[in-house]
Structure 1
Amino acid sequence: MITPFFTISQDDEFIFIDVKVSHIRFNAQSIEMVVQDELFIFALPPYYLRLRLPFRCVDDERSHAAYDSKSECVKIKIGKETKGQFFPDLDLTTKLLARLNESEGKEKDAKNGGAGPLIQELDIDNNNIAASNSAVISEGEKFDWEVSQTQAERLSNLVEVAPDFKYGFNNTFSEIIGVSVSNGNDINELGDPEHTLSADRINERLIKENIKFDPEYYAADYIMAKYPSPDDDKNFKQLIDWKSPSTKKFMKWYKAQQELSQDARESIMNVEFSKEEQEKLLDLPRKSYLIEDPAIQKQLLLLLISLLFAYHFDMRETEGDHNIESAWTVGKLTPQISFLDAQLDNSEGNVLKAGVITSIRRALSYPLHRNYTLVQRCWDDVYYNLRGGKRLIIKSLLDVRELFRFHDVYYVYNKIWIDDLCSWVISDAVGEGLIRQLAHDLKKEYSSLSKADITFEKLNEDKMEEGEDREGHEQEQGRSQNDDDDDDEIVALNLEELELMAEQSFEEYQNA
């Protein structure tokens, strides 16, 4: 059966459903429609549509269906049980599609003598939807980003536990990235992605970020941005001054709201999906997610932030016009994609701060333009994207999904991360209150960071040369080298120090 393209709208009394069908297959006598409480079913072979609406509807004399040959749509009108009741999220078509295999599950239960499944999904009480939204907002306000500290339990019997090498959304995937690596996946940076533990992914990522960061490259871009000249091959001012479309949408809406009275203001930005975006929503997985572990929830929110940052960095670097390198850029700047690292570095004690610092480190190590001011502008874009609400986020995620969907190798990241992330954000598990609080928490973290907080560990070449000379001399004298000398070969550099050295070098060059 084919799920047809459809759109839904409403007024105070009716729900309007437009179902797109081919005129070749249209046969009025073959149409079957069922309205049963919240459930709506449309069947016209080979089309089949089954929706679960937020509230009850009734099939009475007011209901009507007609075929419009111009638009090739079956236009359906059904009445609301309660006149004037507002049905939320009718534009999130994926959310309305009924869960898969529901009837099959009931048949299996009947055959098994009424034995129910180990885990059973319960329908939401739509009458309490307002209360549930309040709970979500309250949850967002109380969200804690501090690293949880739990004491390890002592096992009475030492048992060797097989390591868990799974990755992706909710750690449910394996044996996928390895195949893509063999096909030329150059986004992946793990040496053995299928057999690397979570903690080892963090260490490998930190080491390779330190190796990849080029102090001279960063210093050159810093001088080029601060002291531009006509001969420069990079125009940082143009990129920094560029305005993101999502940012402009939010700022336009926000300014319009400020001109209204307090009672007339809207709490959620009105965002409409285009027909192409609605079709993309229908392609998303139709799943329900049972994620109760707070640590996993934080990881998914960090994935959302990291992915939005990488997306807006590419948008700013290409000035809103994606190119053939956009998928590579987004993948490289997202640690959950390039290193399958969902945990990130928790040494800061705050996982959100760790996520922000990780994204900054990668943005200053991989792309063509490496500038801290440019990075800050990208964080502003992420903040306004979050402030725009769930639908504005979904529009960005759908755009990211398209970058990977058409690639011969990178499409695997849609399967293990992005498809499920889109469906999870659409679901009731992520409320507008949580997103709003996430935006404020993010703003607080990246605004409070200083350039001294962004550090890289590099080899101290001067110490290495001295060590080589001393080693040769000590070998001649028959003495061993002190083990502590290895610590002197690593030096920690922060952006503040690098920019100061760049200024001094530039001044010397100007005075020469």
Structure 2
Amino acid sequence: MLTPQFELSQTDNDVTIKIYARYANIKETEISVEGTEFYFSSPPFYLRLNLPGEIIENDFASGSYDCDTGTFLLKFPKVKAGEYFDNLDMITTLLAPRKEKVPNVGPIIEVIGNPVAQNISTDDQNTNNDDNEWHFPQSVASNIIVSSLNAPKYGFANKISGALSAFDPGWLTDVVDLPSPDTTPMNERKTLRVNDETNKFEDEHYLADLFDPIDELELSLTFKPFWYDLTKENINFTSKELDILKELPNKEFILDDNEIQNALFGIVDILFSSCYNHRTTLDENTAESSFNINKLSATLSWFNNYTNIKEVVNTCMRRSLCFQRFRHWTLSMMILDDVKKIIKLGKKLIIKRFCEIYELFNNSFEPRYILNQLYIRDYLIWLQKIPDKIIESIDTSLDNIIPKKEDMDLQIVELEAAAWSCIKEDEENKNKENNLIIENQIHNMTNDINNIVINNDDLFQPFIEKKNKIVNLNYYCKIKLKFNYDDSGNDSDLNNLDNSKDKSMNDSKDDSIEIDEHDIKQELSSSENEHNVDLNRSMSIEDSDVTLPLDKPTKLSTMNLDNSHDDDLFDTEMSLSKLPEPQIIKDRRESKEKNKRELEEEEREKMQVLVSNFTENQLDRYEMFRRSAFPKASVKRIMQTITGCSVSQNVVIAMSGIAKVFVGEIVEEGLDVEEAAGDTGPLQPKHLREAVRRLRLQGQIPTSRSRKAFLRL
């Protein structure tokens, strides 16, 4: 028989039961109520509920069936009007059968294994079936019983031992970090875990996230989880969550106070890892979500037991700084606040978060379903049975905990102090260098100006500024001279600078500047043609108060300039190499841009023609290909693992694109392999393996492994 999905709701006087049983046999439907028990049978569906209070089937009871949705809507009055039925949304509790009252004869013990009974031969079991006497081999109990009693415990409330001994240790490495869980003593787990965390902590990773956070980390810091907008009244289970809960078995847990406290500490630890995954993935689970939850939780990866709530919080904070992708103290504090908010909203939201973990572990590529069997499933059953006051007790103690960096035992405070000191020192050194550069520039400028001797027989160092453009003609001088002029005609030949001294300043001819022992290597090429340069009566040296009267052709003595410096004090140095004409450069640039635009337009037209001829199936496949992408978080984690250093977001984006192209080439080659083999349908692993082999032979896939010779000569 199948158990259908169902929902319960109540008012002060009635209880409404909604049952989803599509394709049920209406003719054979039977409904019965007996006190607190409700029975529903409509082949192939069967449902029995044990309600918190009594209901009655009388004239006020009603029922209906919607054939379109296959929904039964049943309404029954309460025996005691106004009574509140608690935990109507705890599916597993409602499905449990009613407990029969028996005399108190001692605790009920569930036998999970009997090594003595397993040694009984089948012949002994098949003989004397009709006799009342039982014949068992009389022997001293073997060491198996002793070892099973003293074996290390793990799982929910530490009730399991020896469950992982049958598994290959290498197979469990991706799930459990604790080496040899069935033999490692429980008191050594903490020491091994702390040593592992200390060895895995990376100073560079932590400082990089602190001083140079990437965009995804900043998004996680500003993300607001959905439960901040919830109240206890509007928390409801989804259909997937109801399916998970109704498939859980009915189990009774007899726990003492220490075991209950340890179970509550495990809830906080597992919730912290779940909240980390929720915040860092922005509520969009990825292929790495199950890994994040498994790795971050010490309960799930190390089978860790806690003694107090402070130890739980410190362990969660510490592991979030050692293993996860984002290792940021503020982020970890925000995740702790998320955990506190979930616990304040009650056990129903906690169950929803555990249902998500249960589904992620079941769908994980690694064998994390083992963790469901050891922890998550029992937590889901136990949470539905415990009263709310137990959850409220952990909420009160958790509010009083404020983690500190000093308690992490990772020397975070000293590390940050050293980093800030280095940053401050670098800034001071940079300021000193800038000040020294400015002082050197001022000193050199002062020396150069002092070396200028003004007289009529000196040689003027050949600088010519045309239209406020300075051209270095012979020496790589470091002094910038500005000429004030008016346009009054055509330019004269720059090589013929020895003109008459008696020409008036208002004539169309240029005043001359005598240049001795220096030949002009190259004229300035420009798009302007034949402008006449008139020198004004005065010439000013920029950044100085020196004024040179030009009533007569003036010469300046040779300036002692230090040409060994490469830095231009006034950012005016220009090379004497031939400069291309601006119009030619502009034409070339426009030509390149035009060719590029034409090529892009041609490619775009070809793509439009190709897409327009796609069939509907091809168009869907093309859209899926365009939208598909490798998760950048996984790509970055793999790159950082291989390279051992942080990777920028641009490199991750490029690598994701390369990976997509690489996969596309493998798929294309796989399609050719499938066609050559005469196969049809979707690609199979054998096609992809052959495609990789062919691409490797073609040299398109590099060989990363070197083959070692078996024989050494």
Which of 144, 148, 160 is residue 173 of structure 1 equivalent to?
160
Residue 236 of structure 1 is matched in structure 2 by: 217
Written as runs of structure 1 = structure 2, the 5 A alignment for 1:227-306 is 233-249=214-230, 253=231, 268-291=232-255, 293-306=256-269
Distance in 2 (CA, whole Å) between partners of 1:180 and 1:401 is 23
Residue 416 of structure 1 is matched in structure 2 by: 374
Residue 270 of structure 2 is matched in structure 1 by: 307
Question: Measured at CA, do residues 10 and 180 of structure 1 come closer, stay the same or move farther in structure 2, by a change above 3 Å?
Answer: farther
Distance in 1 (CA, whole Å) between partners of 2:404 and 2:352 is 31
Residue 319 of structure 2 is matched in structure 1 by: 362
1:453 counterpart = 2:407:
yes
Question: Measured at CA, do residues 180 and 53 of structure 1 come closer, stay the same or move farther in structure 2, by a change above 3 Å?
Answer: farther
Question: Measured at CA, do residues 216 and 115 of structure 1 come closer, stay the same or move farther in structure 2, by a change above 3 Å?
Answer: closer
Which of 398, 415, 419 is residue 442 of structure 1 equivalent to?
398
Which of 336, 353, 358 is residue 299 of structure 2 equivalent to?
336
Residue 335 of structure 2 is matched in structure 1 by: 378
Report if the CA contact (8 A) 2:66-2:72 is conserved.
Answer: yes
Distance in 2 (CA, whole Å) between partners of 1:195 and 1:61 is 64
1:498 counterpart = 2:487:
no
Report if the CA contact (8 A) 2:271-2:353 is conserved.
Answer: yes
AA of the residue aligned to 1:368: R
Question: Measured at CA, do residues 509 and 411 of structure 1 come closer, stay the same or move farther in structure 2, by a change above 3 Å?
Answer: farther
CA RMSD of aligned residues (A): 2.6
Distance in 2 (CA, whole Å) between partners of 1:75 and 1:352 is 46
Q: CA deviation at 1:317?
A: 1.1
Distance in 2 (CA, whole Å) between partners of 1:84 and 1:57 is 12
Q: CA deviation at 1:391?
A: 1.4
Residue 347 of structure 2 is matched in structure 1 by: 390
Report if the CA contact (8 A) 2:5-2:20 is conserved.
Answer: yes
Residue 426 of structure 1 is matched in structure 2 by: 384
Residue 488 of structure 1 is matched in structure 2 by: none
Where is the helix percentage greater, Structure 1 or Structure 2?
1
Report if the CA contact (8 A) 2:217-2:280 is conserved.
Answer: no
Question: Measured at CA, do residues 21 and 410 of structure 1 come closer, stay the same or move farther in structure 2, by a change above 3 Å?
Answer: same
AA of the residue aligned to 1:27: I
Residue 27 of structure 1 is matched in structure 2 by: 26
Which structure is richer in relative contact order (CA contacts within 8 A, separation 6 or more)? 1
Report if the CA contact (8 A) 1:185-1:410 is conserved.
Answer: no
Structure 2, gaps ≥5 residues long: 111-145, 431-713
Question: Measured at CA, do residues 234 and 185 of structure 1 come closer, stay the same or move farther in structure 2, by a change above 3 Å?
Answer: farther
Distance in 1 (CA, whole Å) between partners of 2:415 and 2:215 is 20
Residue 325 of structure 1 is matched in structure 2 by: 288
Report if the CA contact (8 A) 1:315-1:322 is conserved.
Answer: yes
SS of equivalent residue, structure 2 residue 2: coil
Report if the CA contact (8 A) 1:424-1:430 is conserved.
Answer: no
Q: CA deviation at 1:180?
A: 6.9
Distance in 1 (CA, whole Å) between partners of 2:369 and 2:7 is 28
Structure 1, gaps ≥5 residues long: 122-159, 226-232, 254-267, 457-493
Distance in 1 (CA, whole Å) between partners of 2:170 and 2:42 is 44
Task: Report the structure number with the largest CA radius of gyration.
Answer: 2
Q: CA deviation at 1:504?
A: 1.9
What TM-score, normalized by structure 2, do the two folds share?
0.52
Question: Measured at CA, do residues 22 and 270 of structure 1 come closer, stay the same or move farther in structure 2, by a change above 3 Å?
Answer: closer
Which of 108, 113, 116 is residue 119 of structure 1 equivalent to?
108
Question: Measured at CA, do residues 322 and 115 of structure 1 come closer, stay the same or move farther in structure 2, by a change above 3 Å?
Answer: closer
The Cα offsets for residues 302-357 of structure 1, whole Å up to 9 and x where unpaired, read as 1100011111111111111111111111111111110111x23x5xxxx1001111
Residue 600 of structure 2 is matched in structure 1 by: none
AA of the residue aligned to 1:417: Y
Distance in 1 (CA, whole Å) between partners of 2:335 and 2:407 is 18
Report if the CA contact (8 A) 1:223-1:503 is conserved.
Answer: no
The Cα offsets for residues 60-109 of structure 1, whole Å up to 9 and x where unpaired, read as 22233332202202222222111222222212222211239x68xx9xx9
